[in-house]
Structure 1
Amino acid sequence: MQNITKEELKQRIDAGEQLNILDVREPHERAEFNIGGFHIPLGLVQTMQVDEIEHLKDEEVIVYCRSGNRSGQACMLLETMGFTNVKNLTGGMLNWQA
């Protein structure tokens, strides 16, 4: 698992790059604020219910949560499922909004 900073991610989003972003927070957290992408709560990742992103196994997937902890767990789980290029957003949405 690699990390990506908010500055790196913001720069890539602002440049219009097509990114595979995955939010692993709960629905109520996502409703408050999100930066887009797929939404699969960590609990579903843990039970391997990731059909929605299965086609991204060989592509870069940037994972985020509130603080970076759940997304770190999700990254490790995705790697065990065969995802080859997952990145954790350092500090999550708390850092993003700071």
Structure 2
Amino acid sequence: MLIKEIDSQELTQWLQTENPPLLIDVRTPQEMAQASIPNGKPLPLSLLPLRFNEVPKHEKVVFYCRTGARSAQACLFMAQQGYDNVYNLHGGIVSWARYGLPIEPLIFN
């Protein structure tokens, strides 16, 4: 099964559109508290099988993690659940930060 990927620069363009994608951070709460992409929503990978139905099926969704490995797993899982509008942030937040793009702590509730 093919995982759709998006790079940091393309994602910045998507975020400036009228209908930006939903950003979902699949890292641990401790990682999220250090740095996250602004407006990212927390949904740790370990909780995704229990809460995937909270992810809108007909919107673009970009999953991200530290380097792109866990978010690729999230995309694969979501594709298996019938979601076809999910994307993996290539290189994760590490790549995002390397481009000098904004990051901020994300508080997980």
Question: Normalising TM by the smaller chain, what interval?
Answer: 0.7 to 0.9
C-alpha distance in structure 2 between counterparts of 1:68 and 1:27, whole Å: 17
- For residues 93 and 33 of structure 1, the distance between their equivalents in structure 2, rounded to whole angstroms, comes to 8
What amino acid is aligned across from residue 24 of structure 1 in structure 2?
V
Q: Partners of 2:52 and 2:17 in 1: how far apart?
A: 28
Deviation, structure 1 residue 64: 0.3
Identify which of 37, 40, 45 aligns with 2:43.
40
Q: Which structure 2 segments of 5+ residues have no match?
A: 99-109
What's 1:30 paired with? 32
Mapped to 1, the partners of 2:97 and 2:18 lie a distance apart of 20
Corresponding residue for residue 107 of structure 2: none
TM-score normalized by the length of structure 2: 0.78
In structure 1, stretches of 5+ residues that fail to align are: none
**Post-superposition offset of 1:13:** 2.3
Cα distance in 2 for residues equivalent to 1:43 and 1:89: 18
Asked if 2 retains the 8 angstrom alpha-carbon contact of 1:62 and 1:88, the reply is yes
Instruction: Give 1:35-74 correspondences, 5 Å limit.
Output: 35=37, 36-45=39-48, 47-53=49-55, 56-74=56-74
Pick one of 4, 7, 18 that aligns with 1:5.
7
Q: For 2:62, what is the secondary structure of its paired residue?
A: strand
**Normalized against structure 1, the TM-score is what?**
0.86
CA-CA distance at 1:17 after TM superposition: 4.6
2:51 partner SS: coil
Q: Percent sequence identity over matched residues?
A: 38
Query: Do the aligned partners of 2:21 and 2:59 also contact (CA within 8 Å) in 1?
Result: no
Between structures 1 and 2, the one with greater helix share: 1
Q: Which amino acid aligns with 2:86?
A: V
Displacement over 3 Å in runs of 4+:
14-17
SS of structure 1 residue aligned to 2:74: helix
